[in-house]
Amino acid sequence: MIEAYRWRQVAVRNLDWEEMQKVYSNRSFPFDQPDGQVYYPEFDDIENSIDKQSLFYSTQKAAAAADQFRYNSMQIIDKEKTALARLDIKIDTPLGLIVLLGTTDNSYTAENVFILIDFGGNDNFSGLAGATSSLLNPISVMIDFEGDDHYSNTLRNTISQGAGIFGTGLLLDLKGNDTYESKYYSQGMGVFGAGILCDVQGNDKYKLDFSGQGCGYFGIGMLLDSQGDDEYYIFGDGQGMGGVNGLGIIADYAGNDKYTAEWNPEVLDRGDYHSDKKVNENYVQGAGIGRRGDGSDGHCWAGGQGAIIDIYGDDVYSAGNFSQGIGYWFGLGVMYDKEGNDEFNSVYFTQAAGAHFAMGVIVDESGNDRHLLEKTGGAGLSFGWDWVNTLFVDKGGDDYYQAYKMSIANAQLRSNTYFIEVGGNDTYRVRSDKGFLGDATIHSSFNKPGRSETYFSEGSQIALFIEIGGIDDYLIWNKEVKVWEKAEKTGNNMEWSFQ
């Protein structure tokens, strides 16, 4: 851990302390970036001067030290239950507190912690559990060995539960049915640093307002869960979100899991004009989101890489707009599900979609899945707007798809969209025989470009829909009689073109 601190100091050697403090205390940054509303020059200055190689080598050192300690300690804990029960040790050091807690039920408020080890018990932890509490406390690692624990942080300006700003925050919980609750910048979140929350075993619940559950801005955020039926809830900006020049990953290995982002503006108002302000924009579940400054102050930052990865289990994913494999402004969003009968519910700019020089991807390896674009559902299931590449791949299973507008391999404004379905008896329900199933829409600016958009005439675009195997149903909504009818222009063993 001392080595981790040393490499962090190397990383920030060229930075201005006052600028670092402005970044550390800024909680408005995520809300101001997508359309370039507010420019914070200190972020630019630090990005140009920080030594990221040394910074993330520091994170590797801290993570390796925690893992080594976990492995070595588990071999002796069962033999020393009696002695460990009496532990209550706190040692103050220049890098923060070293805290050792025993196997009884504890309540502890974490602040300025360098290393915190809890050997068991059903505990309550508040404050900055596994989070960097200041610029002088840049490395904070917490390990909890067992017990049904409750992690709670009620303060908006306090980071927690695996969060690192200009350093590394790591929270490792090995066993128990745990609950995590926080407001901002928590549960696997990094800004010019790395935040990692890793829960190994148990049926866990995660609840957060904004920016976490695998979220990074100029840094790395990871939420990793191995076993159990877990529930994840967030208002926005997370569940695998790479903000400007960041990496955000949420990965769950096994269990029937539920991922929810709040879409209803009556609960929290982030109403998106694409849905008449009736559905929230979330930026979640595999989202790479950049700062589009071409319409404001001109400062543009490329979006990062966001990924949501789930390996085993029957899972449910729910979100509003800008979600589920979404890229925005040079960002990359990836959604990967290996196995299980899964359900994907979302609304607009979603499920392998992108806008403005971005990429969106969904890969589902198996299972009988349902992909529903609800409310004003569209711009999804492999949809690109303005020089975007999108890929949707589903292999195996009897799958169901529903969309209302511009979806299922629809390319707009020189984008390339690919939708590939392999195997299974699938059902497609769409609202029209145009704008779906491989439609690359032609605009007048392609042949007669305006003075401000000449580059549109220089590119090409592809919308490719491929259905391999199975006996599939293609249905179109008849709005006059309000029934689903068999499509005439699309069907099994057919080819069609919209050119």
pLDDT recorded at residue 449: 73
pLDDT recorded at residue 442: 80
Residues with pLDDT less than 70, the chain: 453-454, 499
pLDDT recorded at residue 439: 95
Distance CA 353, CA 371 (A): 14
pLDDT recorded at residue 80: 82
pTM for the whole thing? 0.96
pLDDT recorded at residue 450: 73
pLDDT recorded at residue 152: 97
